[in-house]
Amino acid sequence: MKHYFITAIGTDSGKSLVSAIVTEALKADYWKVVQAGNVETDKETVMSLVSNTQSVFHNESYLLDAPESPHSSAAKQGVTIDIEKIKLPTIENEYLVTEGAGGILVPLNDDHLVIDLADKFDCEVVLVSNVYLGSINHTLLTVNELKRRKLKVRGIIFNGDENLASKKYILQYSGYQELLSIPTLETVDEKVVKHYAEKVRKNLMS
């Protein structure tokens, strides 16, 4: 099984959109390990955007109520997130796409961060970098931590109106490959996800 971990440079960077695209591209299983906020879960969002019939959507290990940092949301419910108790679901397909929460250094508990899940499950990281003033700094800080931890990184997916100067510097500094660039989208639906899935498939499978 090939296991991709979708993470980002911050909250609302487009992880769920990218997770849907990668899941569709590979006809992969999908797993959101920790969900904080249950009005509309990321699993429900991804399910609504994936159109193939092979993907299986696995239940969260922790489904928390408050839309806050996982450690804070868990504490409000009297829960402690224990990553040692988190086990991989039974996988039906060749690929598994796991979606993180927020950025890589978001705390799960007093001792563990979101990125520790990628290390625990020996995942290959797909980093989402959304485009805004300051995103170079935030992306390179994330890159530095991924490199410090010696994690395997498949590449970067840029999300937002293209800034060629920013992209060039990020790719040059990181040494990572660009997997896909997604412009600002007016509509996000199954058709759009399938379109970008076709664009990124080769880079994920090669």
**Nearest-angstrom CA–CA distance, 154 and 174:** 12
| Contact yes or no for 103/8 (Cβ under 8 A) | yes
User: Is 168 part of the annotated catalytic residue set?
Assistant: no
Contacts of residue 150, Cβ cutoff 8 Å, sequence gap at least 6: none
Q: Residue 131, SS3?
A: coil
Written as one string, the DSSP assignment of 56-124 is: -EEPPSEEESSSS-HHHHHHHTT----GGG--PPPP-SSEEEEEEEEETT-BSSSS-BTHHHHHHTTPE
Report the first-to-last Cα separation within the chain, whole angstroms. Answer: 15
From 2, 15, 27, 32, the catalytic residue: 32
Q: Give the catalytic positions in this structure.
A: 32
